[in-house]
Amino acid sequence: MLKTIREQNFKGQRVLLRLDLNAPLNNGIVQEDTRLRAALPTLEHLLNQGAKVIILTHLGRPKGDGDEALRVDPLAKRLSELMDRPVPKLDDCIGPDVEAFVSQMQNGDLVLLENTRFHAGEKKNDPEFTAALARLGDVFVSDGFGVVHRAHASTYGLAEYLPAYAGFLIEKEVAILGGVLENPQHPVALLMGGAKIDTKIGILTNFTEKADLFLIGGALANTFLFAEGKNIGASLCEKDQKEVADAFLKAVPKERVVLPVDAAVAIEINPSVARHEVSVEVVGDQDKILDLGEKSIELFIEKLKTAKTILWNGPMGLYEIPAFAEATKRIVAALAQSEATTIVGGGDSIDAIKAFGYKEEDFTHVSTGGGAMLEFLEGKVLPGIQVLCM
Ligand code: ADP
Ligand code: MG
């Protein structure tokens, strides 16, 4: 059971609030602010109670300290716009200056601290660094769902020093994703695609007994076609995952697994290439499978109509190039129209939704998780959630 911020009033307390504000920047400006907006309910709740809120986040992957482009000033600016109030930002996340600032804070004040990953101790969960962070707060509130799969100082270590609570975002993600794992409305369809096969196969395996239907597209499908002995030519494929794919295909009744029957292929990937479809039985040695073909698209959409719960992760094709965006576009449209519970996750999948003009509200739930969501659905115990449980 998660211990959440609902259990207590934080008035007058110094709350160290770990968020995942890691947003894409463009020329020092936040390009996409989903993660910032997702942090607002917890932030507003704590401030309204009269807590002193000290925000921790990472941004990107700094190499050592002082990676100027990865200072969090653009996040403070965007947050300030979203909250319609000033958001002070400090140039470090530990040390005497930070402590001095925090000691002056009044109830209802907030501050954003510098990128936690400027300190090597963050990722190492170094006790000295963690203790320096812990000195800043009376309690630790964790609400960065996107980082709960990491046992870092600010996502995990702090719970050893301070009473720890989950914020509303983590509470919601765990309720919804946990619901799919534990008591979903059947039939459950798992719609999986994308390219990072080793991060996806674990989910298929974990759902072997939980899902009623497995629809596999994207480059992920290539590994399965390959496992079935089909020629996939020069397609993207993780051949070393063949055995995992084999084991999955053996464990699941055949009628529950839907693989592409045809594909859009090309010998070279470039933006001006024309769409050309073939049956998966006749893929040439030089062909790359880059999208589902028309028959597969119709088949997938037909099957999805039978589901009451649909979990989607991973584009159905190389959607960045218009000639190979067809399957992803049509299937996203089908999901947006579906009456079923639709749960979507994955950085590229969410990009695709937006690129095709859909909004988060068109789906039941769009996870802010990425890697954390994938690991959660694999059934792993996530360190950043474990420390928030009683
Ligand atoms: P997500 O971020 O949603 O979890 P992934 O990162 O696993 O998804 O995969 C997204 C990428 O997979 C996209 O860049 C897309 O172009 C690529 N992709 C999907 N299908 C294919 C394919 N058949 N061949 C090559 N790349 C593909
Ligand atoms: Mg991705």
Q: 3-state DSSP call for residue 37?
A: helix
Q: Which two tokens stand for residue 133?
A: 């962070």
Residue whose structure tokens are 């999901």: 335
135 is catalytic: no
Give yes or no for a contact between 204 and 311, defined as CB atoms under 8 angstroms apart: no
Q: Distance from CA of residue 353 to its chain's centroid?
A: 14
Q: What atom of ligand 1 comes closest to residue 197's alpha carbon?
A: 7
DSSP 322: G
194 is catalytic: no
**Distance of CA 237 from the midpoint of ligand 1 (Å):** 11
The binding-site residues of ligand 1, defined as CB within 6 angstroms of any ligand atom, are 193-196, 218-219, 236, 289-290, 313-315, 317-320, 346-349
Considering 150, 196, 288, 330, which one is annotated as catalytic?
196
Q: Tell me, what amino acid is at 30? A: V
| β-strand pairing of 262-266 with 257-258 | unpaired
Give yes or no for a contact between 160 and 151, defined as CB atoms under 8 angstroms apart: no
How far is it, in rounded angstroms, from Cα 191 to Cα 300? 9
293 is catalytic: no
**Distance of CA 190 from the midpoint of ligand 2 (Å):** 17
Considering 60, 108, 178, 347, which one is annotated as catalytic?
347
Task: Report residues of the chain scoring pLDDT below 50.
Answer: none
Residue whose structure tokens are 């937006």: 354
Considering 18, 35, 172, 329, which one is annotated as catalytic?
35
Can you spell out the DSSP letters for 96-107?
HHHHHHHHTPPT
List, in order, residues 6 or more apart from 210 with CB less than 8 Å away: 181, 184, 188
Residue 24 is predicted with a pLDDT of 92
Residue 286 is predicted with a pLDDT of 96
How far is it, in rounded angstroms, from Cα 109 to Cα 247? 55
Closest to 328 in 3D by CA, of 303, 347, 353: 353
* Strand order, beta sheet including 52-56: 110-112, 52-56, 14-18, 139-142, 164-166
**Distance of CA 154 from the midpoint of ligand 1 (Å):** 31
Closest to 63 in 3D by CA, of 27, 115, 113, 108: 115
Can you spell out the DSSP letters for 180-224?
HHHSPPSSEEEEE-SS-GGGTHHHHHHTTTT-SEEEE-HHHHHHH
The tens digit of pLDDT for each residue in 343-381 reads 999 999 999 999 999 999 999 999 999 899 999 999 999
Q: What atom of ligand 1 comes closest to residue 317's alpha carbon?
A: 20
Ligand found nearest the CA of 345? 1
Closest to 192 in 3D by CA, of 183, 182, 202: 202
Residues constituting the chain: 390
Spell out which residues have Cβ within 5 A of ligand 2, the ion: 347-348
- pTM here is 0.92
Q: Which two tokens stand for residue 322?
A: 């218009």
The tens digit of pLDDT for each residue in 6-45 reads 999 999 999 999 999 999 999 999 999 999 999 999 999 9
Residue 31 is predicted with a pLDDT of 92
6 is catalytic: no
Residue 63 is predicted with a pLDDT of 81
